[in-house]
Structure 1
Amino acid sequence: MFRRLLSRLPVDTFLLLLMATVALAAVLPVRGQGAVWTEHAASAAVAILFFLYGTRLAPRNLLEGLLHWRLQGLVFAATYGVFPLLGLILVWLAGGWLPPALALGLMFVCVLPSTVQSSIAFTSIAGGNVPAALCAATLSNLAGIVMTPALVALLLSARSGGFNLDALWSIALNLLLPFVVGQVMRPWIGSWMGRHKALTGLVDRGSILLVVYSAFSEGVVAGIWQQLAPSSLAILVLLDSVLLALAMLGSWVAARMIGLKRADEVVAVFCGSKKSLATGIPMANILFAGQAVGLVVLPLMLFHQIQLFVCAALARRYAQATARAVNQTPPVARELQPAA
């Protein structure tokens, strides 16, 4: 009954879980040796997550996606070119209205890779090219292992306290290596993993919640949340919303300009405008070690939830428009209609 009640709420269930995790960290933050063990557990969960990604990606799908160079190039340019530029502009416009840690976090959002799970899900709902979305999102995350630290070094080194190759090595060890091991193991366990897709989703969300609990507990113990004013939070929500709107609009316009088909346009809009919480929080723990990581990842957490709400609505509109084009009602629209 409780699960049925959650499914009827107009709020994403994962958002509720994130809010509950933050509340738990505020009331019962993990301390001392417990914090160390929690951090190790979170790192292990993220490694398992990328191992599962590796077992699910067929090399043939990766090759087919690579051959669609215009779409992949557009997603890559939006993720690692347009986003950082937008971030620089918005942070400059915000001036001194945001605390340094939140300004750093907003820029960090802009240099992260795209999501995997939700990009594919929304592309499927919208009637887009799902194999291309899988390839674009996976390539974005693999490229992010190098691109995100490089962009942090280029754009954020003055605020983040510098960057060294040890951080790149840690990211490769925690994210890339498990993915490669998953690819190697795919011939033996790939089919079994395909029949248990819920396992990846469980590890995905569980790892995020564990890392969020660790990061916010650290912030509570250090007393950094007294520094966050309600006005700063409101400005941050506004900037995240503007950032997402500009990224989605830019991806849509660019897809139309280069003549992508509608199914590929859907991929460009969803993959080119989203940022990964599952990859971003572990990277933040490595790249900004010793800083107020809880505040740094707050812009990412807000952006993640905003993008879920907006993309869910947009996916339904795409599905309805596609259905009208073939003169039929989409399943999603039927579900939204009130019962007689």
Structure 2
Amino acid sequence: MIARLKTLFDPLVRLLLLAIALATVLPVTGEGRAVVRVVSDAAIFFLFLLNGLRLPRDQVLHGMRNARFLLPLIVWVFGVMGLAGLGLSRLGEGVLPSTVALGLLFLGLLPSTVQSATAYCSIAGGNVAASVVAAAVINILGVFVTAPLLALAAGGDVGIDLAGLQRIGLILLLPFAIGQMLQKRLGHVVAENRILLSWADRSAIAIAVYVAFSAAVEQGLWTLVSLSAWVWLALLIGAFLLLGFAGSWLTGGALGLARGDRIAFLFAGAQKSIALGAPLASVLFPPATAGLVLLPVLAYHLVQMIISAPIAARLSRA
């Protein structure tokens, strides 16, 4: 119980809740929306620049050699969880607003978290090196594959045109590529200022959420989603969490992974990344739509943080 309460006070969780509350009582409107959108794009650019600076290429290349662990994890994260998201979004179409139901599919196709999956893997006594590399590789893949898979699975509900692809390239891929090119020269700066730059990460994510929710609130977010829809969303997210955590643990066992790798597979396979979800939603969707699409992602992220702590603690004692 104490571990769960501590999770609620995680800095990123606090910032996300603050962003939602601020968007509810003080949404950005009118001319200010364009200014805040530019600030959000700049923050996302900086976030992916940092991601590029953090990730040593030699670690990724070394980790990719462990195909027995990495390939099934990629299939699980984008294939199995993506299909689960598609199925749950279809179930939700009759009881949720269509854009919120689409958010369940978007959630299923997102990559793993990086920091929290690695942290919980460490607490549980898992293979931290495998977790770090797997999460990094899957996040790189996510930038390339989440949007096309979303367009393919959603059909006409999501139209990714040339302008959308250009925004993905300019705001997500370009800064990551620049960071990778400068990694050997400036990577040590990121390592030496880890705490300060982690707040830059969180702030960029919170800004993206604030912009998306501001537009959604202006469109009537809290009246569009009824009480019964919130109940259904909670049930569908609960089913998603059960599949994510129980399924990834059982799959790791079925693959015959060593215990450390199985623990890494669990957290990398079950947790979904708001760090990519919020920026990608802001790039792919109009602001009003992005806020509704992010509802399932935010709900899943909050609950995955709450339940991961006791799971990791239990595994550490086993």
Give TM class, smaller chain. over 0.9
Show the 5 A alignment for 1:160-309. 160=158, 162-289=159-286, 291-309=288-306
The C-alpha deviation readout for 1:68-116, integer Å capped at 9, x for no partner, is 1111112101111001211222233345111111101111101111111
Provide the aligned C-alpha RMSD in A.
Answer: 1.8
Check the 8 A contact 2:96/2:225 in 1, yes or no. Answer: no
User: 2:24: which partner in 1?
Assistant: 26
The C-alpha deviation readout for 1:129-153, integer Å capped at 9, x for no partner, is 2221111111111111221111111
Separation in structure 1 between the aligned mates of residue 221 and residue 252 of structure 2, nearest angstrom: 42
Residue type matched to 2:83 in 1?
L
Residue type matched to 1:198 in 2?
I
Separation in structure 1 between the aligned mates of residue 170 and residue 219 of structure 2, nearest angstrom: 29
User: 2:312: which partner in 1?
Assistant: 315
TM-superposed deviation, 1:290: 6.0
TM-superposed deviation, 1:20: 2.4
* Distance of aligned partners of 1:181 and 1:121 in 2 relative to their CA distance in 1, 3 Å threshold: same
Which structure 1 residue ranges, 5 or more long, are not aligned? 1-6, 322-340
Number of residue equivalences: 314
Check the 8 A contact 1:145/1:168 in 2, yes or no. Answer: no
Check the 8 A contact 1:157/1:163 in 2, yes or no. Answer: no
Separation in structure 2 between the aligned mates of residue 124 and residue 173 of structure 1, nearest angstrom: 34
Separation in structure 2 between the aligned mates of residue 95 and residue 101 of structure 1, nearest angstrom: 9
Separation in structure 1 between the aligned mates of residue 129 and residue 290 of structure 2, nearest angstrom: 35
Show the 5 A alignment for 1:68-217. 68-160=66-158, 162-217=159-214
Separation in structure 1 between the aligned mates of residue 256 and residue 236 of structure 2, nearest angstrom: 30
TM-score, normalisation: structure 1: 0.87
Check the 8 A contact 2:90/2:101 in 1, yes or no. Answer: no
Identity %: 38
Separation in structure 2 between the aligned mates of residue 164 and residue 22 of structure 1, nearest angstrom: 29
Separation in structure 2 between the aligned mates of residue 166 and residue 69 of structure 1, nearest angstrom: 35
Check the 8 A contact 2:15/2:202 in 1, yes or no. Answer: no
The C-alpha deviation readout for 1:154-206, integer Å capped at 9, x for no partner, is 1113223x222432332122112211211111222212221221133212210
* Distance of aligned partners of 1:77 and 1:296 in 2 relative to their CA distance in 1, 3 Å threshold: same
TM-superposed deviation, 1:261: 1.0
Question: Larger radius of gyration, structure 1 or 2?
Answer: 1
* Distance of aligned partners of 1:36 and 1:270 in 2 relative to their CA distance in 1, 3 Å threshold: same
User: 1:338: which partner in 2?
Assistant: none
Show the 5 A alignment for 1:12-23. 12-13=9-10, 14-23=12-21
Which structure 2 residue ranges, 5 or more long, are not aligned? none
Residue type matched to 2:313 in 1?
R
Separation in structure 1 between the aligned mates of residue 92 and residue 43 of structure 2, nearest angstrom: 36
Separation in structure 2 between the aligned mates of residue 114 and residue 142 of structure 1, nearest angstrom: 10
Picking from 32, 35, 53, the partner of 2:33 is: 35
Separation in structure 2 between the aligned mates of residue 17 and residue 142 of structure 1, nearest angstrom: 25
Separation in structure 2 between the aligned mates of residue 111 and residue 63 of structure 1, nearest angstrom: 24
Residue type matched to 1:200 in 2?
L
* Distance of aligned partners of 1:292 and 1:38 in 2 relative to their CA distance in 1, 3 Å threshold: same
Residue type matched to 2:285 in 1?
F
